[in-house]
Amino acid sequence: MRKYSLKAIDHFTRYVLGNTESFNWLMNNNHREFIATLDAVRDDSQAFQYLLKNKHVQLAAFVNAIWDDENALQFLLRIKAFEWAACANIINGDDSAEDFLKKINKENYVLLAHAIQSRIHQDGDYNVSPIGALKNMLNIKKIFKKE
């Protein structure tokens, strides 16, 4: 299980918020798994497969935990990835998870959780806008072509 530096988590957070320099930093410092993680959170199945194929199982479990997969959350706890489990719980509305991370001086994961939560809400708002709804309708053709 890979441990990440504060700097890497901070760049991941900034990337989630749309910072191009942080995207470049992640790419140049061999942290492509964070880019795939955000894409997987945004429902990109190829990005999720990238995480699994490249053995970033804690990040794959984190993605699933964000989407209320209790088994994924238990897996994160079992492998002692407490920061990732708490981060997912914050996204899911657990205030005590935020308190836990602050108590163990991992506030950078709190910031990451709020950034991801914001991005999820932003994506949801886009999907219900007139332009987003039209785009989703046009993408239905792609869905049927895959089958």
Number of other residues whose CB lies within 10 A of the CB of residue 120: 16
pLDDT of residue 5: 95
Classify 94 as helix, strand or coil: coil
pTM above 0.75, yes or no: yes
The single-letter code of the amino acid at 53 is: K
Give the per-residue pLDDT at 77. 97
Distance separating alpha carbons of residues 78 and 130, to the nearest angstrom: 43
Residue 133's pLDDT band (cuts 50, 70, 90): very low
Tokens of 12: 């991941």
- Interatomic CA distance for residues 101 and 69, integer angstroms: 21
Buried b (16+ CB within 10 A) or exposed e, 74-111: ebbeeeebbbbbbbbbbbeeeeebbebbeeeebebbbb
pLDDT for position 138: 53
Identity of the amino acid at 10: D
For the segment 132-145, the average pLDDT, to the nearest whole number, is 47
